Every structure is written in structure tokens, then in C-alpha cells.
DNA sequence: GACTGTAGGTTCGTTCATTGAACCTATCGG
DNA sequence: CCGATAGGTTCAATGAACGAACCTACAGTC
């Protein structure tokens, strides 16, 4: 990988992790996968990422066992990319990053994460204050926060305005 | 910043965070700062980072309020870089990354984090299982794990073999 | 007072990655 | 047959990272 040459000598699991997910765009691709984005074109319009870079990242993440490439229709052949268990294990990292970004940088509540079972807003570690447990990723509900723009340009962002659970596929109609 | 042009349009606190700490080397510099590295030369030998890149990252992190540049001796003028509160708030992110890297990639226990007050090894969110609380960063003790090389080449790595608390300065003698 | 060493940089040419536009392939609907 | 759609690849131009060399200011030592 791109970062490997130097990071590899560092005896450190953080460095190893960054070798795999530390490249530009990579974590945003994974974030979108949590939000339910699965198709090449949906990643493309939602992220505004160059096509070549997206193809390269999807391939690398698949090779690392973070995403799985899955044929969802035979003809014409179409593939989708979904998170593996290894990918889903990144949720605490993404959550921590998001909390830091909100508290230290944006100070805006763009999205709210709730426990789907009871509707309680989750704490910084994705724990449910009401139930007292860490909520499993498929039981996390994501809803737009008060500071999120309600009229986004691209269809994927529009589809993401509907409350849904993490990992559940978005339905981005042409609209 | 380098990443800003594209990430800025993303209404997302994760994207905002990555704008600030998502560049190559940046998170490793911050990790070292948690481990007690404070001086330009110590970062240099410990990370193996090009000098120009280090200077640029230190400057950017200082400008973002994540590190603070502090004169620790007047003549000759010498500065050190220490984490601000905003920087310290990144600990959960770094911890989550490290846990993921260890569990999913390296499968090796390179460093152990303990509650300095009671010696209990910390859980994935830096919480103390014995005390039932999230441990404040200055109360986290870092000790070498069983899989860490005991005879590293550079003096900073050697100094880091001694158990110490996070944020406490390393003493890297020439040795 | 001339050397040597150290901390903290800057400069510069080369290499590598990212970008954005254009192009390619296969298939479906009409 | 024509156009649209999904999922790519190719290519030239740009920007960032790399590593070596250089610079500055001071301290200690002979």
C-alpha cells in the first residue's frame, strides 16, 4: 500500500491500522458504507471522489477484508460493496472521530444516532444511556440532526434524510 | 489544508475531523505526543518522517489548536510541542484505532494501558473494569506488552520501554 | 578562538499519488 | 438501431511526499 513503506517499521497497532485505512478518502468510503451506500455510482456522487481513486480504494478495502464485493444482479453484471465484520468493527473509531469533530470543530448537530429499540440518543461510545449497554451496529438508527441541510443536491444525500438503521441499504432513486 | 477543498462540502463532522487530522503522518505525530514525545528531534527519530513534513505538520497542528508550541529554554531558544485539551480529546479516537488494529490486523499485544490508580488493564473505551469509570488521560499508564521488541534501535523507543503515564515527557538520553 | 556538536529548521530536485476529463464495455429499454 | 446506465480504465497535469543537503544559533571543549 501507499503508506506501508514507512509505517511498517513502527511497532504499533495504530500505525498498522493507518496503513490500511489511513489513505485519503478511505475512511469516508467506510463511513458511507455504514450509512448504507453500496454502489459505485452512489459513492461517486455522494463523495465527489475521482473515479480512479474510488476504484482503487474499493479494491484495496476489498483486498483487506474490510469490504466484500457482492454480485447483486447477473445481467448486466452489477456488484455492490458491503462491510464485513472487520469493517463493522471500525464503528467505534468512526464514532469517536465524529464526536471529536462535532465537539471540537463544527459545534453542529448534523446527525443523531439513536438506539433503535428504545429511541434513546447514544453516548460517545455508542452506548445507550437508558439500556446501559453498547448498542450493536445494526441496532443503531441514524436520523438527520437540527443543523443538517434539508435540501441537498445529490440523490444519495436526499435518500439519507430518511431515518434508517446503519448498514441498511439506501434507496437512491433518480428522483 | 490539503484535504479541505473536497471534504469541506461534506456536511459531516467526520469529514471535518479528517480535514484536520486526516493527512499522512498527522495521527502518528499525535500518538507520539500522547506517549510523551515533545521535541522536534524526538519526533524525527521516532517516526522516521521527513523533516519538512514534520515541520509542516507541527505547524498545522499548532494552528488548529491541537498542539501548543512552548519555549522551554531561552538560550539557545528551544521549543516543545504539547497537546492542548482539544488534542487530548482525540484519545478515544486513537484508542479505538489501536484496538481495531490489534484485534483485526496485528493480533499482537504491543502496549498495555492500565489505570494508574489501581493497575487494572483498560477496556476498549479506556474505561477501568475495576473502577467502572472512564479513566482520564493523565491517569492512563502505558507499559510495554509481551510482543514489543525490547531492544529498539532509536533512543526514543528505548525511553518508551519504561512504564509511564500518558502525556508525561519521555527522557530520551543519547545513551 | 577555532572546532565540534546539537536543536530546529529551510531549500531543492526527484518521485509518487491525486485529480478531472475522456474513453471503453456490456446490457437494457424503446 | 439509438441512447442511457453502471462500472470501470487511461492519460496528462498538478500537487504532495521524500531524502539529502544546507543554514542558523548557541554551548562546550581543547
Q: How many domains does chain A have?
A: 2
Note the pLDDT tens digit of each residue in A78-137: 899 999 999 999 999 999 999 999 999 999 999 999 999 999 999 999 999 999 999 999
Instruction: Say whether both B96 and B124 belong to one domain.
Output: yes
DSSP string covering B62-92: HHTTSEEEEEEETTTTEEEEEE-HHHHTTHH
Instruction: Say whether both A9 and A79 belong to one domain.
Output: yes
Q: Between helices B51-63 and B26-34, what is the axis angle to 10°? A: 70
**Residues with Cβ within 8 Å of residue A8, at least 6 apart in sequence:** A15, A19
Nucleotides of C under 7 A from a protein CB: 6-12, 16-22, 26-28
Note the pLDDT tens digit of each residue in A16-29: 999 999 999 999 99
Instruction: Say whether both A50 and A74 belong to one domain.
Output: yes
Instruction: Say whether both A60 and A20 belong to one domain.
Output: yes
**Residues with Cβ within 8 Å of residue A118, at least 6 apart in sequence:** A128, A130, A131
pLDDT at A11: 87
CB B111 within 8 A of CB B73: no
pLDDT at A1: 40
- Cβ within 8 Å, pair A89-B104: yes
Q: Which residues of chain A from 68 to 97 reach within 8 Å of chain B, CB to CB? A: 86, 89-90, 92-97
Instruction: Say whether both B46 and B109 belong to one domain.
Output: no
pLDDT in tens, chain B (175 residues): 455 556 766 789 999 999 999 999 999 999 999 999 999 999 999 999 999 999 999 999 999 999 999 999 888 889 999 999 999 999 999 999 999 999 999 999 999 999 999 999 999 999 999 999 999 999 999 999 999 999 998 899 999 999 999 999 998 765 4
Per the domain annotation, does B14 fall within a domain? yes
Min distance A133 CA to chain B CA atoms (Å): 13
Mark which of A51, A86, A121 sits at the end of a domain.
A86
Instruction: Say whether both A143 and A106 belong to one domain.
Output: yes
From chain B, pick out residues whose CB is under 8 angstroms from the CB of A49: 6
Angle at the Cα of B118 from the Cα atoms of B116 and B123, rounded to 5 degrees:
75
- Cβ within 8 Å, pair B13-A102: yes
Mean pLDDT of A149-170: 94
For residue A58, the SS3 value is helix
Domain with residue A66: its CATH number is: 1.10.10.10
Q: In this structure, how many other beta carbons lie within 10 angstroms of the beta carbon of residue A168? A: 12
Instruction: Say whether both A98 and A43 belong to one domain.
Output: no
Mark which of B62, B86, B110 sits at the end of a domain.
B86
Note the pLDDT tens digit of each residue in A26-52: 999 999 999 999 999 999 999 999 999
H and E: helices and strands count for chain B? 8, 7
The residues of B between 3 and 62 with beta carbon within 7 Å of nucleic strand D are 23-25, 48-53, 56
Question: Does the CB of A45 have a partner CB in chain B at under 8 Å?
Answer: no
Mark which of A64, A86, A108 sits at the end of a domain.
A86
Per the domain annotation, does B173 fall within a domain? no
Instruction: Say whether both A40 and A81 belong to one domain.
Output: yes
Per the domain annotation, does B22 fall within a domain? yes
Give the CA B91 to C1' C19 distance in Å. 33
Domain that holds residue A43: 4-86
Amino acid at each position: 500500500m501507499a503508506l506501508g513503506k514507512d509505517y511498517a517499521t513502527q511497532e504499533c497497532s495504530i500505525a498498522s491500522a493507518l496503513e490500511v485505512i489511513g489513505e485519503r478518502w478511505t475512511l469516508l468510503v467506510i463511513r458511507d458504507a455504514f450509512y448504507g451506500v453500496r454502489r459505485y455510482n452512489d459513492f461517486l456522487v455522494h463523495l465527489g471522489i475521482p473515479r480512479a481513486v474510488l476504484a482503487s480504494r474499493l479494491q484495496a478495502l476489498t483486498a483487506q477484508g474490510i469490504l466484500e464485493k457482492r454480485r447483486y444482479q447477473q445481467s448486466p453484471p452489477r456488484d455492490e460493496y458491503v462491510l464485513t465484520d472487520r469493517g463493522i468493527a471500525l464503528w467505534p473509531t468512526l464514532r469517536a472521530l465524529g464526536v471529536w469533530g462535532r465537539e471540537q470543530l463544527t459545534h453542529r448537530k448534523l446527525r443523531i444516532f439513536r438506539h433503535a429499540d428504545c429511541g434513546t440518543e447514544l453516548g460517545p461510545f455508542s452506548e445507550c444511556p437508558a439500556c446501559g449497554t453498547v448498542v450493536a451496529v445494526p441496532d443503531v438508527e441514524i436520523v438527520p440532526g437540527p443543523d443538517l441541510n434539508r435540501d441537498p443536491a445529490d440523490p444519495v444525500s436526499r435518500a439519507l434524510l430518511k431515518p434508517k438503521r446503519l448498514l441498511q441499504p439506501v434507496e437512491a432513486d433518480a428522483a
